[in-house]
Copies of this chain bind each other. A is one copy, B any other.
Amino acid sequence: MNAPLAPDLPDEAAASRWEWESLNGSISEELRRHVAEIVAREAGRLTTLFYDTLLEDPEAAAMLSHELVSHRLNHSLRRWLKDLFPLEAAPDFAAAARLQRQVGEVHARIRVPLHLVTRGARVLKGGIARCLSQTSLPRDELVETLSYASHILDLAMEMMATAFIEGTERATRNEEAYRLFSLGQDASLEREAQRAALLEWLQSLLFAVAGRNEATRLHSIGRSEFGLWMQHRASVMFGGIPALQRITQLMREIDEEILPGIEQGCEIGPALQRLQAHANDIKFLIGDAFQAVVGLENGRDALTRTLNRRFMPSIFAREIAMATQSGRGFAALMIDFDHFKAINDTFGHSGGDVVLSRGAELIMDAVRLSDFVFRYGGEEFLVLLVEADANLAMRTAERIRATIDAAEFVVGEQRNLRVTTSIGVAVFEGHPDYTYLVERADKALYAAKKAGRNRVILG
């Protein structure tokens, strides 16, 4: 553990190095060499076993079957085994760690699912264990070699997995940035440009149909500028929206059913009608899709301007880390508007909306710039008070309750509607999982409701 680490290895490698070195130090050189000889002798057969087993799995087969991959992998798998179990001397930690990191990074880049990699490792591990148990080693030495080989493979997999996860996090971060970047582009401009591209395709198609002869090949919508944009660009923007699948299906029907029919010259009239209907549907669905993403993808709740609860895990994790380090706590307030259903029933949803948006404003005014206000559910808000103890949290909660209790809401004709809130307070007690804190605040809120509403309870 005292030896300096290679500069390109992360800190956690210190513990791995220690484990690696004590593992390699604890086995006799004779037994270590025995394992290495068996692995070297069987490397070819182990590689074949690896392939034969993984190719039975369709998901793995799809990844491994590419010729370039199998050629390179076959070679590098043998080398990988021989490097982990070298004949000459105990394997060098820094070299082994570097190799595992490289492999893990490639796996992350080409998105090999981790379970395929660990499955492959189990195949190799099982194969090596079988070879070892078929030798004439006595019981104790067999146990020792088995545990040594399995431990080496486990350590290698751990280093690979660590690099894999880092690479995956980096890739995920870039993907999310790209998705949000695509959304942040000027959506209305983009919508018009794409509508125009669709119309252009339709127009050139109609000209081709009007002047067609037998040799005319109609341009597919899938390969048009519009179609390419839909597949290669819009899928990021609209990812997960049902309209996207529907558009893809309509385009496929145009290309695979309608256009071939027109080319063959049969029933042109109905085919053109169907084409027009499909094109209109696509135009409509695109408008819809643009509308949907604009509404969905704000960091703030559109009605109340409070934070999207999607950010809760990140923000709580940061505050937990800071609180654990600094020893200064923080608190969560769970705020619920009392009898909200009655407000909705009496004044309609727009009345309820007024109460929520004005209420959220009052909450945000009652806390500091550095605190966080989330829309937690329908009429529930969650406030994270940074650097707060029970005292400050209770005072803030009471201020929020009193402010809302005293405020007059203007809902339609009624200019002085009064509403109240119940608030549950919970102070961070050190548990690293933020959901415990939120649960405690929620229970305290429930207690405040049960005790008659319009009150604050510390959980």
Q: Which residues of A line the B interface, CB within 8 A?
A: 12, 15-16, 19, 57, 59, 63, 66-69, 106, 109-111, 113-115, 118-119, 122, 125-126, 129, 133, 138-140, 142-143, 146-147, 150-151, 154-155, 157-158, 161-162, 165, 168-169, 171-178, 180-181, 184, 193, 197, 223, 225, 228-229, 231-233, 235-236, 299, 310-311, 313-315, 317-319, 322, 368-370, 386-387, 429-436
A106 to chain B, nearest CB (A): 6
Q: Give this chain's copy count.
A: 2
Instruction: Give, as a whole number of angstroms, the nearest-CB distance from A174 to chain B.
Output: 5
Contact B122 A322 (CB under 8 A): no
A151 proximity list for chain B (CB < 8 A):
122, 126
Query: Do B161 and A143 touch across chains, with their CB atoms under 8 A apart?
Result: no
**How far is B69's CA from A432's CA once the two chains are assembled, in angstroms?**
8
In whole angstroms, what is the CA distance A138 to B318 when docked?
Answer: 54
Q: Which residue among A115, A180, A231, A317 has the maximum number of chain B CB atoms within 10 Å of its CB?
A: A115
CA distance A23 to B375 in the complex (A): 48
Say whether A162 contacts B66, CB under 8 Å: no
**What are 13 A-B contacts with C-beta separation under 8 Å?**
A115-B161, A133-B143, A171-B313, A171-B314, A173-B175, A177-B311, A178-B299, A178-B311, A178-B314, A184-B299, A228-B370, A231-B370, A231-B386
20 additional contacts, CB 8 Å, given A119-B158, A133-B140, A169-B172? A19-B119, A63-B432, A66-B430, A66-B431, A113-B162, A114-B161, A115-B162, A118-B158, A139-B139, A165-B165, A171-B314, A177-B299, A177-B310, A178-B310, A178-B311, A180-B180, A197-B369, A232-B387, A235-B318, A236-B318
| Inter-chain contacts of A176 with B (CB < 8 A) | 172-173, 176-177, 180
Q: A223: which B residues are within 8 A, CB to CB? A: 387
Question: Is B168 touching A168 in the complex (CB atoms < 8 A)?
Answer: yes
- At the interface, is chain A mostly helix, strand, loop or mixed? helix
Contact B171 A168 (CB under 8 A): no
Chain B residue, CB-CB nearest to A157: B118
Report the minimum CB–CB distance from A117 to chain B (whole Å): 9
Q: A15-B119, A122-B154 are in contact. Are A174 and B228 (CB under 8 A)?
A: no
- Indicate if the CB atoms of A68 and B429 lie closer than 8 Å: yes
Contacts of A233 in B (CB 8 A): 369-370
Which chain B positions have C-beta within 8 A of A432? 63, 66, 69, 110-111
Partner of A171, one of B197, B317, B429, B433: B317
Most buried by B among A111, A126, A157, A158: A158
Give the residue name and chain of the B residue nearest to A129 (CB).
B147
Within the complex, what minimum Cβ distance (angstroms) separates A459 from chain B?
Answer: 15
Inter-chain contacts of A169 with B (CB < 8 A): 168-169, 172
